[in-house]
Each structure stands twice: as structure tokens, then as C-alpha cells.
Amino acid sequence: MPEMPEVEAVCRKLRDVVVGLRIEGIQVFRCATDAVAEAAAGRDIQAVERRGKHILLRLSGGVTLHTHLRMSGNLFAIPDWRFHLAEARVLIQLRGGSGIVLEDGRALARMDAAADEKINKRMNEELGPEPLGADFTVTRFQAMAKLSRQPAKLFLMDQSNVAGLGNIYAAEVLFRAGVHPRKPVNRLSMPRVARLHGSIVRVLEDALKSAVAAYSGPGSFHSEETFEMRVYDREGEPCTICERRIRRIPQGGRSTYYCPGCQR
DNA sequence: AACACGACCTGGTAGC
DNA sequence: TGCTACCAGGTCGTGT
């Protein structure tokens, strides 16, 4: 589920219903500590923000409740916190009776709380530019690529280069840009890095539309808004462009899918 | 500095 | 049916 587009969709949906509400209490079962609950209880939710794959609930008193969904987490509002049928790892009780649930079967998600400045500092130290933000320019991306010998796939997944790409969209970005996942980025020509940049933006814009449509629930779902995976999880299937079989290779301990014909 | 790898967790599924 | 092995959208700590 959660790469940047999905996390953004989670934030938008949450923002609509929780901003302005007070946190009356928090029950922590896993994925957080009781200290986190104490730090956030009694505060108002003033804003819901996202940075990379991180979710930031800005609370009154200069405190941020920070969540990372990792592999399988989800964060969503429910109308009545007493009836959380979902397997909650953290249950946030809001004034008026509604709630927010952190759900995660694998319990790898993490929620913590700290002063705004501390969280902001951490985000800015760890994360590169927002891929759909104004400061993610071709020039900046080219400058970064020139300095790195990382294989293209790992370069894209490194959150300090660009914030928000994960295993699926990194593979899709490389396919659309025609770049081989093992290609060291400093050995790509500047036009090819520019193409990679364009591909990042296009893939994430499309995936975001798709994620937002999916999260707004059934009824408002149109097939042209569904993001099409061209290589991810398609090992052995023919490439949609050149018909050669999609390959799967290990990279950084994960699976990378690519087309040996289209990606060089 | 750059990389590989296991750990963190649970659940689903392919294969025998 | 039941077992095993492997796989999973992410990150962190450790070791080479």
C-alpha cells in the first residue's frame, strides 16, 4: 500500500474529517509507546501534513504526532471509536466520539510524538525534495545524479535523494524512462537523467490520481484513473512495448522487475 | 563511504 | 489436507 501517492491519499481523507477535533485519549496496543499517548492527549488536531511517506498530525502546543506506515500500515478515521472492528494498533479517541485508527497486521508501522521543530529538522535532514513539489527541478536532480554511483533503482528508493518512491513506483519509473535498474546514475547522460526526472513526476501524478480515486471509495471510481503496472510483479509476462519477458532480479534485498529489451 | 544482510512482524500462497 | 519455504508496498542497525 503505502508509497507517497497512497500516503497522500490517506492524508487527504483524514484531513477532511479530523482537523479541528480534540484528542481526548489514545490507546496504544503496539507500534507506539504510552509516552506518545501522553504527549498527544488533550491536544487539538490543527493540520494533517505529509512529507515523503511520513504523516504528520500537527497538534496544539507545538507538538507533532508522527506516523510511518512502513509496509502494511493504514491510518484512517472512524465515526465511532467504540466500534473499531479493525485490528487497531493505536486507537485515537476524538471529541464528539469519532476516532482515528492505526491499523497494521504486521505491526511494523511506527507512531511517535515530538516538538514540531524536532520533527521538522529530522524530516529535512533525512528526506530529499518532494517529487511533486516546486523545488524538485531537473537541474537539481541532475546535480544529485552526477554525484552518485548508486544503481538507478537504489538511487530512486533512497529517501534522501527523492522523498516518497518505494519498490513498486521506482520500478515503474525506470521502465517508463527506459533505464536499466542496475545502471549507475552518474553514468547516465544528462538528457537521460532529465527523462528519469520527467518519468518520476508523471508516474507519481498518475499514481496519485489513482490512489485518491481508490480512497474516495466505490462509486467515484473510473478505470482510466487506475494506475497500470507495466513491470512490477509481472515476471515472465511479455513487455507491453517489445514483448520480451519481464525479469525479476534482487537489488538491495528486494525484487526489482524490469524489461531487458526496453531498459538499458 | 558504500554496500549486503538480518531484524522487525504477520499473513498469504505456491509447491510438494 | 498439511506442511514448508518464500514472498510482501519500508526502514534501521550491524558488519564488511
Tell me the per-residue pLDDT of A27-45, one tens digit each, with 9 for 90 and over: 999 999 999 999 999 999 9
Mean pLDDT calculated for residue range A208-227 = 78
Pairing of strands A110-115, A88-94: unpaired
A20 beta carbon to strand B: under 7 Å: no
pLDDT band at A222 (very low <50, low <70, confident <90, very high): low
Please name the residues in contact with A156: beta carbons below 8 A apart, sequence gap of 6 or more.
Answer: A162, A165, A170, A173, A174, A200
DSSP H helical ranges for A53-182: 116-126, 138-146, 152-157, 167-177
* A180 pLDDT higher than 80: yes
A249 beta carbon to strand B: under 7 Å: no
* Confidence (pTM): 0.96
Of the residues A13, A43, A51, A53, only one is catalytic, namely A53
Mean pLDDT calculated for residue range A146-162 = 96
Residue A86's φ and ψ, nearest 5 degrees, are -65, 160
Q: Label residues A131-164 b or e (16+ Cβ within 10 Å = b).
A: beeeebeeeebbebbeeeebbbbbbbbbbebbbb
Summarize pLDDT for A96-143 with one digit per residue, the tens.
Answer: 999 999 999 999 999 999 999 999 999 999 999 999 999 999 999 999
d(CA A135, CA A129) in angstroms, rounded, equals 7
pLDDT at position A153: 97
**Cell digits for A225?**
484513473
Contact of A40 with A58, CB cutoff 8 Å? no
**Across chain A, what does the average pLDDT equal?**
95
Of the residues A2, A5, A129, A181, only one is catalytic, namely A2
pLDDT at position A215: 82
pLDDT at position A251: 95
Tell me the CA–C1' distance in angstroms for A104 and B13.
20
pLDDT at position A219: 56
Tell me the CA–C1' distance in angstroms for A252 and B5.
9
Q: Label residues A174-199 b or e (16+ Cβ within 10 Å = b).
A: bbbbbbbbebebeebeeebbbbbbeb
* A1 pLDDT higher than 80: no
d(CA A214, CA A128) in angstroms, rounded, equals 27
Tell me the CA–C1' distance in angstroms for A21 and B3.
46
Of the residues A130, A195, A254, A260, only one is catalytic, namely A254
A12 a catalytic residue: no
